[in-house]
Amino acid sequence: MKVALSALLLVTTFISHTAGVVHVHVTVTTTHAVSITDDLFVGVTLDSSLLPTPKHWGGLDLNSHKVRTLARGLSPCYLRIGGTAGDTLTFLPTGHGTVDSSRALTGATWDAANRFVQDVNWKLIFGLNVLKRKDGHWDPYNAQKLLEYTKAKGYHLAGLELGNEPDIFLGQHNITVSASQLGRDYYNFKKLLQSTPGYEKTPIFGPDMTSVTRSGKYLTDFLRAGGDKAVHGITFHHYYTNGHTAHLSDFTNTKLMDTLVSYIQSGIDVSRHTNPHTPLWLGETSSCHHGGAPGMSNRYVAGFLWLDKLGIAARMGLKGVLRQDFYAGTYGLIDHQTFDPLPDYWLTVLYKRLVEGAVLSVNTNHGNSTIRAYAHCTKRSTSYGYVPGSVTMYFLLPTDTTASINFPQFPGQHVDVFWLKPVDGLTGSSCCSVRNKHGQGSWWWSRSWRWKGSWWWPWG
């Protein structure tokens, strides 16, 4: 039987001046899981601003063989189409109407999105315009037109959202919708879907707030006013810092990484009073808001924040993490001009291929500022042949450290080694993927090694 232990290691520099070696001993609790993830845990997003016809999808060619091949590499996968622009859009089935084309979602564009999703085996979550309002309440008329069109075409929706970042509507749209009113809107939306043939069981996600810490009371009031009975997943967004002011050191700052723990805990604390069994999602997330940090959010160094986010979110029991964006901004997974895959794309592919199911507790003899470690059950894959009982581990070395990592509870195990390595440094946009096999024993990682980058290790 081929049993696997797997681990990914990310390191930060090529030349190390560290004297001595840090000896790290790793143990994994395999008798019980701390949480469970499925193969849809990691998803991606596209921004609603790409939808109006004049935008031409922002240059994204949905018919490109390269784009579709890369998208299939992430499947199965949720695609969330949403964003600030979503609360300005009107659905026009024929493309003709009194609405300006820059604020219109046409039937042709909707067809293109759904054909793409079907072809690449993705599942679509779509954000509806909650600012279609009448007498202080959400007006569902235009949304019903979209649902009727979708059903007539035979398209499937994996979920729906109602509005994007309502806690900052005043700044974004010069309007306010109270949390209590939004909760009632969601509740009425739920009843509408239940009475609409074909959508009776369609999941609703929300409220897609910008922050669960700054806007904790907004979430509480939303849930208490009816949102608790409407949502299948509680969503909020997360970014570590502002893309306009970010520094390279932010991407390996363990104190910044640790802020995600208290952030998610705030969401758990709020939701447990009304929705203790409703899963939490990072409904839109990346390294830096305002489109990402140029020259960093789409480069090799961004993998530290991204992989650590996946580890923390899985360990704390989140159901989904939707990466902003698959395309566009400076935090996309593919290049916005060439469509070439960027380093975080490969990191995401490896994660989705090697991780699924039980999330395990992992401990080391060093603090998480030296080495950050996570453990999961390995996904049963026809590609690699791993069997039930295999374990995947991944590590981040965010400081200038030479490390020897040992697994005393797994003596004599053989190891498959997967790693990503940067071709042109931390801020390089290129990387290569290598798979190799190593024998038993300890593994030494020094950031002075020219070839090192990130490693996935399934032991077998």
C-alpha–C-alpha distance, residues 105 and 118, integer Å: 19
Q: How far lies 162's CA from each of 11, 166, 170, in Å?
A: 40, 9, 17
As beta bridge partners, residue 37 has: 357
C-alpha–C-alpha distance, residues 13 and 377, integer Å: 30
8 Å CB contact between 426 and 12: yes
Tell me how many degrees the CA angle 115-121-122 measures, rounded to the nearest 5: 80
Helix (H, G, I), strand (E, B) or coil at 19: coil
As beta bridge partners, residue 247 has: none
8 Å CB contact between 324 and 280: no
Quote the distance between the C-alpha of residue 370 and its chain's center. 25
Q: Which residue type occupies 449?
A: W
Of all helices (H) and strands (E), which one includes residue 43?
A: strand 42-47
Strand ranges in 243-335 using DSSP code E only, listed in sequence order: 280-289, 320-323
Q: What sign results for the dihedral spanned by CA atoms 299, 301, 307, 312?
A: negative
Respond yes or no: is residue 148 known to be catalytic.
Answer: no
CB atoms within 10 A of CB 8: 26
Helices (H) and strands (E) in the chain — how many of each?
10, 24
Respond yes or no: is residue 161 known to be catalytic.
Answer: no
Q: Which of 148, 161, 284, 356 is catalytic?
A: 284
Q: Which residues lie below 8 Å from residue 226, measured CB to CB, with a gap of 6+? A: 183, 184, 186, 187, 188
CB atoms within 10 A of CB 429: 17
Helices 343-354 and 302-315 pack at an angle, to 10 degrees, of 30
Residue with tokens 């997943």: 233
Report DSSP state, residue 340: P
Q: Which of 161, 165, 200, 356 is catalytic?
A: 165
Catalytic residues: 165, 284
